[in-house]
Amino acid sequence: MPELPEVETIRRSLKKNIIGKKIAEVLVRKKKIVRGGVDDFIKGIVGKKIEKIERAGKLLIFQLLEEKFILVHLKMTGQLIFEKGKKVVAGGHKISDKDIEGLPNKYTHIIFRFTDGAKMFFNDMRQFGYMRLVDKNEKIKVENEYGIDPLKASFTEKVFSEIVSVRKKKIKTVLMEQGLIVGIGNIYADEICFKAGVRPDRSANSLSEAEKKRIHKECKNILKKAVKYKGTTFRDFRDGEGKRGGFSKFLKVYQREGRTCLKCRKEKIKKISVGGRGTRYCPVCQK
């Protein structure tokens, strides 16, 4: 599933390519992807310009004129693919060459065509993602359902400590609970706990002040670094030259189970289940 760094990378890339473009046509090929009436969705956005693209956690928000907003959630396998001539920019769930060849394909459920000939495709293999057209009040209501964004200045040590100290759940579960802290998924939760030296299956309220401080610090550091390197699933195609998300080369524990820890060089990375999610950690480096 695309996490905060991937969604932020998509936001920044699309911002460069579609801000100011006018929507000429929208084709909905799979009605279940649109929440609310399809006719109202199409009628509400055709002829409008995209003024701004924001992000609330893993949710993308396209602002149109007249205070209308398109909410876009990629969920597990969603992808947004922008195409104009030979230029293709794709992000979301892991992108392969097949995803951008012969668009639209069988996984393309919504197509935006802009007045300058550019197109944007919403692809989703498992069809859990969605688009929804809302007004300003509905947008605010949806945003309020999310927890604090770890990349915002308001995510302070004090706020993080208040969130963690009163919860008995595992620290990884707390990090991934979107109503508390928004945007952190499985990949980055494992990496944050490793870098902070804390086992992901520790109870949140058992952490010392020093441990909470380290986790808070690594939430910011790792997410910022992941955004810098375009996450782990982003791919930007221009004239046939592909550039993959570069953060994968910095992963220390995620999907490294059974391999020697890169830090202590003594123990092998273990895999357990925390909150129903596959979780990796080093028994030596994390306590």
Is residue 277 part of the annotated active site? The answer reads yes
Catalytic residue among 2, 5, 150, 200: 2
Catalytic residue among 58, 68, 202, 214: 58
Is residue 104 part of the annotated active site? The answer reads no
Catalytic residue among 3, 8, 191, 218: 3
Query: Is residue 272 a contact partner of residue 279, using CB atoms and an 8 Å limit?
Result: yes
Angle at 14 between CA 51 and CA 57, to 5 degrees: 85
For strand 235-238 and strand 87-92, is the pairing parallel, antiparallel, or unpaired? antiparallel
Catalytic residue among 49, 225, 244, 277: 277
Omega before residue 200 within 30° of 0, cis:
no
> Pick from 164, 155, 232: which is nearest to 198 by CA?
164
Is residue 58 part of the annotated active site? The answer reads yes
Is residue 3 part of the annotated active site? The answer reads yes
In angstroms, the CA 29 to CA 42 distance is 12
182-195 CB burial, b ≥16 within 10 A, e <16 = bbbbbbbbbbbbbb
Active site positions, annotated = 2-3, 58, 277
